Amino acid sequence: MSKRKRPESNAPSDSLTDHERLIYDVIRSKQDMGIWTRDMKRELRVNLPDNIVTKSIKSLQNKSLIKEVVNIHSKGKKHLMAVEFEPSKEISGGAWYSEGSLDTEFIKVVKSQCLKQIIKLKVATLEGISDSIKRSGAFKVDLTKQQIEEIVRALVLDNQIMEVKSNGSGEFTNIPVGKVCYKNVSKGGGGGEPKTGSLASIPCGVCPQINICTPDGVISPKTCVYYTTWLDF
């Protein structure tokens, strides 16, 4: 959801040149999506020379009417937006993005908290995890249900937790039958990282060149440097 402030009627926009007015109108019309400078030039009704456009953009920025934002789909390109708008999820990346990149630290912390609560609860529904995190006071701002769901789904993909359905009895008592729940993945006698597969345990299994390796070729098991390293006792 974009946060929009009502533009003030006696804004500095009153003191704009015609060129600045043209450019400002185009940028403002894009609201929370903003616009790339080159696209903006194309949308102008008149063909303005580059130096005029550059000067006008700078002036508008100085007057705090427009700002530069990062578009995660094209981080290198200059993307402009009227100051009263917040970048939409489509160009900012959403709650997990900060200045155009994934906020990996934040994601790591949320993942770790969710996992901690799931381990503590042994079997947890999404609501259970959400309540438990709220009660723990680990975050200053409440995480939305959608955010928790996204993180929990990522933990399933990381194979750190598994999704099960309640059967209403045993450890699922108090959880309605059929409700989706999450449990920590038990690793049998191990614990921690899942066991490496048979193919992945040998050089060929992880080799980026396997498609061009042949028995008597330039890249072959006899000449393979990965094998040589592996067998270096």
Partner 1 sequence: MLTEYGTKHAVHVITNHFGDLVAKVCECLLRKGPLTRQNVKRYTELSDEQVKNALLVLIQQNCVQAFTTEQPDGPKANTQYVVLFDNILHRVRFAKFLTILSQEFDQQCVELVQGLLEHGRLTLKQMFDRAKSSEKEGNLVDLDSLRETLVKLVTAHYVERCPASEPLLMPISEEEGPARKKGSKSAKKIGEPETIEQQVVEAALPMEAMRFSVVTNVESDVGEKEKNSNNVTPGEKRKHDVLELDECGVADEQSVVYRANFEGFIRRLRHKGCIDHVRAHLDDGAANVLSAMLQATSSAEKKVKTKNSVPLSLSSIYEEVIKSEAGRNMTLDHVRASLVQLGELSFVDASSDSYSIDFEKIIEIAQNEEVESVVSKRYGRDAYRIFRLLSKSGRLLETDKISDTTFVEKKDAPKILYKLWKDGYLLMEKLVVTGARQSQFLLWKVNRQILWKHVLDEMFHAALNLSLRVSYELDREKELLNLPADKRTGPLQDRYNRIRKVRILLESSQMKLDDAILLFHDF
Q: Which residues bind partner 1 (CB under 8 A)?
A: 72-73, 75, 93-94, 96, 101-102, 107, 150, 153-154, 157-159, 164, 170, 186-190, 194-202, 204-208, 210-211, 213, 215, 220-222, 224, 227, 230-231, 233
E-state strands within the chain: 35-36, 66-69, 79-82, 97-98, 101-102, 123-124, 161-165, 180-184
Residue 205 CB, shortest distance to partner 1, in Å, is 5
CB neighbour list of residue 114: distance below 8 Å, 6 or more residues apart: 129, 133, 148, 151, 152, 155
Place of tokens 């102008």: 44
Minimum separation from the CB atom of position 181 to partner 1 (A):
10
Considering the complex, state which of residue 49 and residue 215 has its C-beta at the smaller distance from partner 1: 215
In the bound state with partner 1, the residue whose beta carbon lies nearer, of 94 and 128, is: 94
Query: Which CB sits closer to partner 1, 44 or 164?
Result: 164
CB of 87 to partner 1, least distance (A): 14
Residue 156 C-beta: closest distance to partner 1, Å: 8
Tokens of 90: 């489509």
Nearest approach in angstroms of CB 64 to partner 1 is 29
Can you tell me the distance from the alpha carbon of 185 to that of 111, in angstroms, rounded to the nearest whole number? 15
CB of 69 to partner 1, least distance (A): 15
Report DSSP letters for 92-144, one per residue. H-STTEETTEE-HHHHHHHHHHHHHHHHHHSEE-HHHHHHHHHHHT--SSPPP
Q: Which is nearer to partner 1, 137 or 215 (CB)?
A: 215
Count of other CB atoms within 10 angstroms of residue 29: 11
Kindly tell me which of 95 and 138 has the beta carbon lying closer to partner 1: 95
Closest distance of CB 148 from partner 1, Å: 14
What b/e sequence results for 200-232 when a residue is b if at least 16 CB atoms lie within 10 Å of its CB, and e otherwise? eeebeeeeeeeeebeeeeeeeeeebebbeeeee
> What SS3 class is residue 2?
coil
**Identity of the residue, 62 or 220, whose beta carbon is nearer to partner 1 in the bound complex:** 220
Sequence-ordered strand ranges (E) for 46-87:
66-69, 79-82
In the complex with partner 1, the residue whose CB is nearer, 56 or 71, is 71
